[in-house]
A = this chain, B = another copy of it.
C-alpha cells in the first residue's frame, strides 16, 4: 500500500431510512485524523448481505484500516457475523470471556434473565482477534485480509467509543506507519475567516511544509489548527510550539482560548479564575444558552441559572422589566435587555448576567423589527453593555448564532474589553 489511510463502513437500515443521524463517523474521523490517519471514504449500507460484502470488497487491499460499526445488535447480527465469517474465513466459536461478561451483565447489572439470543453475542468467527468490550455485550473483532486491517464494532456510540479508546486508537501509531503527529488549536471570535487570513498571512507563509494550518470557521468564531507530522518528535514539538505561540500573540485581540475548547467552557474557566458566577436571561433562545453551558459537567461551579421569559408578563414579574419599557420599546429592544440583565442579577444573585431578546422566525417579524433582529446585553453590578445583531438564517441556526454572540459579549465584558 502506498499511503496509510482509513475507511469507515457503517451498517444499519436505520441510517438508510434517515431514522438516525450518524454521529459515530464524525467522531471516528476526528480521532483518526488527530493520530495522522486520514479517512478517505465513509460508506453507510443497510443490513443486507450483498451490500455489506460489496462495501468490504471495495476497501480490501486498498485502505490500511477499515472501521466497521453497527450490525452487531442481538437482532441484526444474524446477517453481519456469519458474513464476516464467510468473508474472512473461519467458523463460529464462543468467546468464553465475552460469554461470562454477557452473563454477568444480565444477572448482576440489568437484573434480567439472559436469553440464548443474548448469549449468541459471545459468538465470533475464529479467524478474528477479539477486542473485549467491557461497555456492552457485543465484542469488537479484528480481521486481516490482503494487507488491510478490518475492525468490527457495535454501533451504540458509547460502546464504539470504549472500543476505540481501549483497543483501536492505542494501536494506530504502533501498527501503521503514521509517524508522529501533533496538533495545536486556538479559538478566535469577532473576526471573519478572510480578515484573519490577512492578519496572519506572513506567519502562514513562514510555516514549513510539514506544518499545516487549517481554518475551521463556525458562526462568528474561527478555530485555527496547526498540524505537524513527521518522524522527529522533538523537532515537531519544538517547532509546533514556536509557530503556535506566534499565532497566539498575533491573534491576541480576538483570542478566546489557546486550546481546543468551546466558547462556553472558555468563559467557565475565566469565571473560575476570577471566582465569579454568571446567569442568563433568555427570551428568543428559549433555554439554549443554559443548555450549552450545563451540558458540561462541573458548570455548577460558575453557572447559577437562567430565567427563560418567553412571555412578556414573565419579563415583568420574574425579571422586573418595567411595563413602561415594554410598552414604549417592545420586548426586542435595548432597554428591555438591559433591564433583563439587572433583573437577573438581583433575582439569581450572580456576579454577571447576559440577556437576549429577538425574533427568530419564521414568523413574528414586522417592518420595524424584522425576523433575525436580536438585542443582547451583558452586565454586572457596575456596568451593562448592549448590542444589536441582524441574523439571516433559519430559526434553529438563528438560535445557535445568538447563543454564540451572547456568550462572546459576556466574555468581552468579563475581560473588560468592551
Contact = CB atoms under 8 A, between A and B. Distances in A.
B300 A294 contact: no
Nearest to A277: B311
A235 interface: no
A116 to B, nearest CB: 16
A17 interface: yes
Contact of A306 (B58, B287, B362, B396): B287
Contacts of A23: 21
Contacts of A363: 297-298
Given A307-B307, A317-B347, A318-B305, A30 B51 contact: no
A309 interface: yes
Contacts of A289: 287
A113 B80 CA distance: 55
Q: Looking at A15, A16, A22, A31, which has the most chain B CB atoms within 10 Å of its CB?
A: A16
Q: How large is the interface on A (under 10, 10 to 19, 20 to 34, 35 or more residues)?
A: 35 or more
A203 interface: no
A1 interface: no
Contacts of A168: none
A18 B26 contact: yes
Given A290-B287, A305-B311, A349-B313, A18 B22 contact: no
- Interface residues of chain A: helix, strand, loop or mixed (majority): mixed
A114 interface: no
Contacts of A399: 295
A366 interface: no
A29 B20 CA distance: 10
Closest 4 CB pairs of A and B: A286-B294, A287-B290, A18-B30, A287-B287
Given A21-B23, A22-B26, A279-B314, 9 more contacts: A16-B29, A18-B28, A43-B43, A43-B44, A58-B58, A287-B308, A297-B395, A304-B310, A314-B349
Interface of A: 15-23, 25-31, 33, 38-46, 48, 51, 58, 158, 214, 216, 277, 279, 282, 285-291, 293-295, 297-300, 303-311, 313-314, 317-318, 347-349, 360-364, 393-396, 399
19 contacts: A17-B30, A17-B39, A19-B30, A25-B44, A40-B46, A41-B44, A286-B290, A287-B288, A287-B290, A297-B364, A299-B310, A304-B310, A305-B310, A305-B311, A306-B307, A307-B307, A313-B349, A317-B347, A318-B347
